[in-house]
Amino acid sequence: MREGILDVVGSDHVPDRLDTEKAVPAPPFPEISNGGPGVETLLSVVFSEGVARGRLSVQRMTEVLAATPARLFGLGSKGALAAGRDADLVLWDPNARRTLRQPDMHHTSDYTPYEGMKVSGAPVRVLSRGAEPTIGAGRFLERHLS
């Protein structure tokens, strides 16, 4: 990421459960869902392993997690703090320390691939379009690719 080899970092969030979808023996390949639970931990892991360890600047982290994906996916109202943009923000405490644990996650999966990982930084507050997010307030965004 630091050298610009990767343009985007994301999570293929699939909140399957080990007790059903990821059972052993595994189902036939066409029936296996691809991905794992990770959208909730993405920012924490990238911040902790990148920014907190001095491997990545905060600016570069926001480029690969927000600005570039918004541009590539044609989401003109996203990815920057500027007049006319949506003001989606994560207020972040860079000094927080925590351990990622399944019981603390907010997804429906029964595991996290980051179980027991110690991370630096934590979200303090999230704003969606400048306001506290509420259930049902999401909206479909049409892509505008040039």
Q: What is the pLDDT of residues 68-80, one digit of tens each?
A: 999 999 998 999 9
Higher pLDDT, 25 or 63: 63
State residue 144's pLDDT score: 85
State residue 29's pLDDT score: 77
Q: CATH assignment of 29-127?
A: 2.30.40
Other Cβ atoms within 10 Å of 100 Cβ, number: 19
pTM for the complete prediction?
0.85
b or e along 29-49 (b: 16 or more beta carbons within 10 Å of the residue's beta carbon)? Answer: eeeeeeebbbebbebbbbbbe
Q: Is 127 exposed, middle or buried (0-12, 13-18, 19+ CB in 10 A)?
A: middle
Does residue 107 register a pLDDT over 80? yes
Average pLDDT over residues 115-124: 96
For residue 35, what are its two tokens? Answer: 């991905």
Residues 8-29: tens digit of each pLDDT: 998 888 877 777 666 677 777 7
Domain ranges of the chain: 29-127
Whether residue 103 has a cis bond before it, omega within 30° of 0? no
